[in-house]
Structure 1
Amino acid sequence: MSERSPVLSVRGLSVRFMMPGGEAVAAVTDVHFDVAPGECLALVGESGCGKSVLASALLGLLPANARTAGTALLGDHLDLLHADERTLARTVRGRRIGLVPQSPAAHLTPVRTVRSQLGETVAELTGVRGRAALRAAAEAAAARAAFPSDHLDRHPHELSGGLAQRAATALALAGDAPLLLADEPTTGLDRDLVDRTADELRRHVDADGGGHALLMITHDLNAAERIADRVAVMYAGRLVELTDANAFFGAPGPRHPYSRGLLAALPERAFTPVPGMPPELGALPEGCAFAPRCERATDICRAVLPPPREGFACHHPASVPWPEDARA
């Protein structure tokens, strides 16, 4: 991983949704992380934990009732949370941040073929001109995302969900943006295509001497293990752990009990789901939000929010011996 300045530096990022009657729902709370050149950071957690809201905040795609706080510096100076729509539309989306969306069909123009959309994207973002050059560039972008060339002249409604996902990935890769933000990039793909897509995203990170970076939001821990340098675990809108991927998936393993629960749920591991359900963001419990589902929880967990320390936020981290006087 590079010692150069981060491609993305997030500090204190919070997102609140203002509801009718004045209630504020905390979807993301006080998130801190960096993504360095040459790094893939995998952001993982169950549905509803705030991962996609965080991605939308970085791209300026939140609904009108959202309120943000904190900073998210792209490079050395551009704060994504305070940039105006003109700046985001003209200089950020596609050019400096390539997006692989969670719902690709919504990002594909329904009345145009995949080939024409790829060609237009290449022309706009890279300056390539000429029919033959654009055709070759579109086919190269499609090949990078394992999109079949004999489907390039089809419209989005003629594609399966997996093919639509690959088309969206091809569009994101076409601009060669310094930061790639991939929101569930392997949805709808079989295992071979998951591996191929993950490997292509990794190649994007490693291109040009490792000057690119990837923030991958995913439920697929196998894909994360395959390509991530670090893993950030989100629960109920907060980061509960941020650690090296080798330590997370290998030894000593994650420190937070929720992180360990996610790993234990994998079929090739214990195949044991995390008990219970995540809390509603509008009705978070006092203290640690994971406490109602955690077998290690004590009175302090249910009353006091654990401060982040050494890359995790837990009163009783899993790899620390259980204190005999802490049982409640």
Structure 2
Amino acid sequence: MRGGRHVEAVTDVSFRLAPGECLALVGESGCGKSVLASALLGLLPGNAETAGSARLADGLDVLAADERTLARTVRGRRIGLVPQSPAAHLTPVRTVRAHLEETVRVPGAPAGLRGRRGRAAVRAAAHAAAERAAFPATHLDRYPHELSGGLAQRAATALALVGDAPLLLADEPTTGLDRDLVHRTVDELRAHTRPAGRALLMITHDLAAAERIADTVAVMYAGRIVETAPAAAFFGAPGPRHPYAAGLLDALPERAFAPVPGAPPELGDLPDGCAFAARCARADAVCRAERPPLTEGVACHHA
């Protein structure tokens, strides 16, 4: 609910994520990507309503789970998280080193790091995670408010790399990083997940990062997935089939560098037909009257 109105922030979203697979969920800001992430972790506000199911490999439906189950057995244990706005998720009175060492010690860390360990071993594991995330050792004893946005992002990634969760959810993990660090971050996330059979759901607006890491790409627009495709076909041949997805690629500087015209609709005031019709050169009367279903991986009347 927003202002007394019912807003469908995410609608008819369905996907399957296999062990060792990376799914990149891409789209403009405000399309519902982070709302989906919050739903999977049970972090939606109290006035939010959910329907459907989101099942882990062991059968647990996280949308139906109570807060105790989510807090004790899901968050950090079965679903790891690289959060958006990481500085807001770090405890302000604890250093980065303290965050990392606590994560090393708690259940849910890799099997070799559980239980009582000598301080030297715990500190070494924390250093290793920081190094993998390109977080400088000289900053480990700093507090969150002493970090830049990029450093906070790398601290959050380091915390995620300590965990052993079978599903890692990375929400805009490359925000605030230069291109070299973007490449290193996505490579480390991939190395952390694929060889160990962990699944990775990466939410991003960075299509170059998605191309580097993803097996499958899902494009979201106005709260719905409008196209899913293997990454090789999406970024190569035959390319995107939905006009919006094609527009996202054409907006890249190395491609046409042509922005998608117009602006996305308000989620509380979606049209009856295709939500992209007002921005689409191919739209006709059918597009404006009927919402296209997601059929064979694309939601477009003309695909």
Q: TM-score range by the shorter chain?
A: over 0.9
* Cα distance in 2 between the residues matched to 1:49 and 1:190: 24
Does 1:271 pair with 2:257?
yes
2:137 to 149, 154, 179: 149
Does 1:177 pair with 2:177?
no
Alignment of 1:48-127 (within 5 A): 48-124=30-106, 125-126=108-109, 127=114
Q: Tell me: higher relative CO, structure 1 or 2? Use CA pairs within 8 A at least 6 residues apart.
A: 2
* Cα distance in 2 between the residues matched to 1:164 and 1:297: 43
* Cα distance in 2 between the residues matched to 1:96 and 1:173: 14
Equivalent AA in structure 2 for residue 259 of structure 1: A
Equivalent AA in structure 2 for residue 295 of structure 1: A
Q: Which residue does the alignment assign to 2:269? A: 283
* Cα distance in 1 between the residues matched to 2:299 and 2:124: 49
Offset of 1:20 from its aligned partner? 4.5
Residue deviations 1:201-260 (CA, integer Å, cap 9, x gap): 11012233xx10100000000000001000000000000001100000000001100000
Gaps of at least 5 residues in structure 1 are 1-17, 318-328
* Cα distance in 2 between the residues matched to 1:291 and 1:222: 26
* Cα distance in 2 between the residues matched to 1:226 and 1:286: 36
Q: Which has the higher strand share?
A: 1
**Superposed CA RMSD:** 0.9
Does 1:222 pair with 2:205?
no
Offset of 1:83 from its aligned partner? 0.5
Q: Which residue does the alignment assign to 1:162? A: 150
Does 1:237 pair with 2:219?
no
Q: Which residue does the alignment assign to 1:31? A: 13
Gaps of at least 5 residues in structure 2 are none
Q: How many equivalent pairs are there?
A: 297
Of all paired residues, the percent bearing the same amino acid is: 78
Residue deviations 1:92-119 (CA, integer Å, cap 9, x gap): 1111111001110011111111011100
TM-score after normalising by structure 2: 0.96
Equivalent AA in structure 2 for residue 170 of structure 1: A
Equivalent AA in structure 2 for residue 103 of structure 1: S
Offset of 1:277 from its aligned partner? 0.2
Residue deviations 1:147-206 (CA, integer Å, cap 9, x gap): 111111111111111000000011111112111100000000000000000000110122
Moved more, 252-261 or 122-131: 122-131
Equivalent AA in structure 1 for residue 234 of structure 2: F
Find runs of 4+ consecutive structure 1 residues off by over 6 angstroms: none
Equivalent AA in structure 2 for residue 258 of structure 1: Y
